[in-house]
Structure 1
C-alpha cells in the first residue's frame, strides 16, 4: 500500500484539529465491516468516526458514497483514512493474483513457488473470476510440463458453468451446484483433510459445502496444489 500525500483535516474547535492520513486501497476484495452506511463525503465519514470512542480508521468509496467505520479490509475503489503516524494493517491474509489465459489446459500452474503445497496445509482459500472452467489441481506429483494433469481435478463452473465437480483421470467422481461469474470474483474453499476432498463457497472452511469425495482405492496423499483453466480466461486470487 503506497502512502498518499493527501490529508483530511477536520476542525473540531478553533484551536484543535484531527488529522486523518489518506491511503489508496489497492487490494481486490470486498469491504468487511458491520457498519457500512451512506455518506456524501469523507468529511461526513470522519465525523461519524470521531463520534465513536473506538474508531481509529474508516474507508470511504467516493463513487458509491459509502463509508465503513473500523473496516477490516481496504479494498480497491475505496480510500482509507486513519488517525496516527503509521497505517493500520489491512487484509491480514496475503494474496497472490494469477491471470491464466485460455490455453486448453496445457498444464496447471503450480503454487509451490508461493509456498503452497499439499504437505504444509490441508486447504486452499481462493476467488475465481471467469465465465466457466476454473480448475484446481490436487496432485501426488508436481504439475509441470511433464505432468500436466493433476491427480485430482476440481472443475469449478464446469459443464458450461452449470456444475462443479471432481474428476480423476478425466473420470467424473462427484459434483455439486456451484458456478462462477464472468465479471466478478466469487470466493471458494477446497480442503483435503482426513483423506476427503471437500469444496464449498465462501472463505469459511466447512461452511456452504457443495461436494465431498473420498478416493475408495487409495489415500489421497496430496503433495502439490495448482490452478488452471481450459477454454476460457480465468483470474484467481489465491490466499497464502
Structure 2
C-alpha cells in the first residue's frame, strides 16, 4: 500500500505536466551543461526503490560526472531547502513531551536528529500512538544511571534490548550534545552527531515491530533538559545518487550504466563502509553536500535525472 501511494504521489506531483520551455517533467529543472533534467524528491525510500521510481519518469538516479553538475545540484538543493528550529524544555518529572505538539510530524519519516543539554537521563520515546504507556513504544535512555549508561527498551520501563555501559557521560549539563535516532526496517539505532547511520552506539532488531508515528522527549531522576530539533523540508537531507559498489567492494560505478568514476566528491574519511553494509552513495546536505556511502536499505531522499523531451513530455497517470 505504501509503495503504491508513493508511486502515485510521485507521478502526480512531479510529472503530471511538462514544464513549459524545458522539455522537463513538471517540478524538474533543466541543466544545460549536460542537457539533463533533475527532480528533487522529499519522500524517503531505499536506494533500489529510488532507482525504480526514477525509471517511472524515464530516468535514473543522477550520474555526477564533473564538478559543474555537482555545483548545480548543490545550488538547487540549497535554494529549495527550508529549515525550522524548535526548542523544547523538559522538567525533572519523567513526563514526556510530544514533539508533534510543536508542529514536528515524523509520520512517514525514519529518523530524527536532535541536540540535548541535560545532566543525565535523557529519554526518547518512539510510539505508534500518542501515549507512551502503551506497549507499542520504544524507549531510549541516553546518559541514565548517573550519566554512565544508555539503553533501548521495548516499552516504557521495560527490559533492556540493548545496553551501552562503555560510553560514559554522553550528555552534558552545560553544553548541547548531538544525537540521531532511526527506525528503519525493524531496526532501532541510536548514534552520536548529526550524520544518521554514523557513530552508532545502540542497535536493536525488533522481531515484532510497530510503526513509529510519534516522538517524545523527557528528563527526570534529578535532571531537567533542553532539546533542540531542526526540521527541514528535506529530511534527513540525504539524497541518493546513482553510485554503488555492490558488484565489487571499493569499485564504485554509476548504475545502471556501469560507468567508472571520472569525478568524485567524497567527504573526508568516506567511503568508509561501516559494518560492511554501506554500498550506495548519497549527497549529504549537512556535510557541505559531500558524498558518503550508506546502507542501501536505509530510507533517504533522492534525486532523479532524465533527458529532456523536446517534443513534449507524455502525461503519466
In the superposition, the TM-score normalised over structure 1's length comes to 0.56
Look up the match of 2:146: 160
Q: How does 1:16-31 map to 2 (within 5 A)?
A: none
1:204 to 178, 195, 203: 195
What is the root-mean-square deviation of aligned Cα atoms in Å?
Answer: 2.3
Look up the match of 1:33: none
1:192 to 157, 178, 183: 183
Runs of 5+ in structure 1 lacking a partner? 1-88
2:217 to 215, 227, 230: 227
Are the structure 2 counterparts of residues 118 and 214 from structure 1 closer, same or farther at C-alpha, using a change threshold of 3 Å?
A: farther
Are the structure 2 counterparts of residues 97 and 200 from structure 1 closer, same or farther at C-alpha, using a change threshold of 3 Å?
A: same
Measure how far apart 1:120 and its partner are: 2.6
Look up the match of 1:110: 98
Runs of 5+ in structure 2 lacking a partner? 1-78, 232-317
C-alpha deviations, 1:39-60, integer Å up to 9, x for none? xxxxxxxxxxxxxxxxxxxxxx
Write the distance in 1 (CA, Å) between the matches of 2:193 and 2:153: 22
Q: How does 1:72-221 map to 2 (within 5 A)?
A: 93-103=83-93, 105=94, 107-143=95-131, 147=133, 151-169=137-155, 170-176=158-164, 177=167, 179-216=170-207, 218-221=208-211
Which structure has the higher relative contact order (CA within 8 Å, separation 6+)? 2
Are the structure 2 counterparts of residues 155 and 194 from structure 1 closer, same or farther at C-alpha, using a change threshold of 3 Å?
A: same
8 Å contact kept, 1:190–1:197: yes
8 Å contact kept, 2:136–2:210: no
- The structure that is helix-richer by fraction is 2
8 Å contact kept, 1:118–1:138: no
Write the distance in 2 (CA, Å) between the matches of 1:109 and 1:133: 15
Write the distance in 2 (CA, Å) between the matches of 1:95 and 1:160: 29
Look up the match of 1:238: 229
SS at match of 2:185: helix
Are the structure 2 counterparts of residues 126 and 150 from structure 1 closer, same or farther at C-alpha, using a change threshold of 3 Å?
A: farther
8 Å contact kept, 1:108–1:149: no
8 Å contact kept, 1:135–1:228: yes
SS at match of 1:192: strand
